[in-house]
Amino acid sequence: MCDIPITFTQATLGADLQIPMVDGSKETYRIPEGTQSGTKFTIRNKGFKSVNGSYQGDYVFTVQVQVPKRLSKEQRDLLLELAKTMNEQPPVKKKGIFG
């Protein structure tokens, strides 16, 4: 299992990621557009090999969306324009029976 950092634009638009494998190689994996932070993906038969056999496990990775801490004026203006087109509202938290 591994955490892979991705950018906001990669999560939003989708991207081909280079994922480091346990044997030192890299595997290209396509994440779909609209991927949320914390989403888990599995690459079948690319994990560790079984000690007592020829079975090879799956490689599971979780994407973590990295939000930029600093934006240029142009980037900020572009994001403000995007926000206007989306009629953004803060997410509504559903309350459970305890809160």
Judge contact between 48 and 60, C-beta under 8 A: no
Which H helix or E strand runs over 74?
helix 73-86
pLDDT for 90 equals: 59
Confidence band of 99 (pLDDT split at 50, 70, 90)? low
DSSP 88: -
DSSP 85: H
The number of beta carbons lying within 10 Å of the beta carbon of residue 26 is: 10
Q: 6-64 pLDDT, tens per residue?
A: 999 999 999 999 999 988 899 999 999 999 999 999 999 888 888 887 888 999 999 99
Please state the pTM of the whole predicted model.
0.77
Cα 82 to Cα 13, 45, 69: the distances in Å are: 14, 40, 18
Q: Is the pLDDT of residue 84 over 70?
A: yes
CATH class given for the domain over 2-86: mainly beta
